[in-house]
Structure 1
Amino acid sequence: MSYTLEQLSIGQKASFEKTISEADIQMFCGISGDINPVHVSSVAASKSVFGNRVAHGILVSGLTSAVLGMQLPGPGTIYMGQDLRFVAPVYIGDTITAEVEVVEILAEKRIVKLKTTSTKQDGTVVISGMATVRPPEKT
């Protein structure tokens, strides 16, 4: 289901949950070409500020895209922009919940702004930001 601009309201929320796996990181390395040792080498990562291998921030932020494109506003949404702040690391095995919340509706421009927050299973915020989208014209 999709929501048109007229069907959206301030405070409306949706979320998506996923556990980050070794396979997710390996596939993202292949897709993006980012093989930074902090993502792929336990030895290098153990010497980093993180102390262990971490998921790519952009991989984790992709979960927000899943919410926007599949739930709120949903299929047909045009993702126009995203401001991100990477707050805490995500490790293999962490379960991340990406949530979006409608915070502004610019009816004359047919644009919606949504607060985006990704949290770990323990409630730690790992990414915060703001997305700008154009909802689908029809459901």
Structure 2
Amino acid sequence: MLIRKGIKLGKKVEEISIGEKLYLTEKIEDKDLLLYLGLTNDSNPLYIQHDYAAETAYQKPIVPTIMLNGIITSAISKHIPGPGSRIIEQNMRFIEPVYHYETINIILEVDSVNISENIIYIHVNATNESNKPVIEGIVIVMPPL
């Protein structure tokens, strides 16, 4: 079903299968961080000031967790289940910090499908360049009706 000039609705709950996966690779660039900081007015120096971060346990600037969360929720809105879907709950654990210029690999996997309630559960796993876990969580999504 077309909604508006070529934009289709995402998958309906009946079209989604347990085990369905989406693989993402994201590199965090300065432009992304500056956009985030400008939008949120978040002035935590740990996110952008190299000299400040060098004095912390992290040794270098880290990526705000809400930015990482945004990458995940954007992928859900675009791909699984896609346009028209709505996140109704999420629980994320940010195991290790993600640093500037680091590439992360994210796997979104459909864990459960509840057709009667029109809800799917998507498990999130992300690793850094060293293959160490950085994010783990679950996102509960309502696919388009």
Q: TM-score, normalization: structure 2?
A: 0.88
Runs of 5+ unmatched residues, structure 1:
none
Residues in 2 aligned to 1:82 and 1:11: alpha-carbon distance in whole angstroms:
19
Q: Secondary structure at the match of 1:69?
A: helix
Whole-angstrom distance in 2 between the partners of 1:112 and 1:67 = 15
Shift of 1:42: 1.0
Q: Distance in 1 between matches of 2:45 and 2:16?
A: 43
Indicate yes or no: 2:22 matched with 1:22. no
Residue 85 of structure 1 is aligned with which of 81, 85, 93?
Answer: 93
Aligned partners of 1:121 and 1:42: how far apart in 2? 20
RMSD: 1.3
Structure 2 stretches lacking a partner, 5+ long:
1-7
Partner of residue 114 from structure 1, selected from 122, 128, 138:
122
Equivalent residue number for residue 8 of structure 1: 16
CA contact (8 A) 1:67 1:98 kept: no
Distance 2:59 2:103 in 1: 19
Give a deviation string over 1:21-58, Cα, whole Å, max 9, x none. Answer: 11111111111121201112111101112110111111
Counterpart CA distance in 2 for 1:35 and 1:98 is 27
**Aligned pairs, number:** 137
TM-score, normalised to structure 1, is 0.92
**Separation (CA, whole Å) in 2 of partners of 1:69 and 1:118:** 18
Equivalent position of 1:43 in the other structure: 51
**1:36 corresponds to which letter in structure 2?**
N
Alignment deviations for residues 117-136 of structure 1 (CA, whole Å, 9 cap, x no partner): 22223322211100000011
C-alpha displacement at 1:81, in angstroms? 1.4
Is 1:66 aligned with 2:92? no
The one-letter code of the counterpart of 2:23 is S
Counterpart of 2:55, as a letter, is: K
CA contact (8 A) 1:63 1:98 kept: no
- Give the aligned partner of residue 5 of structure 2: none
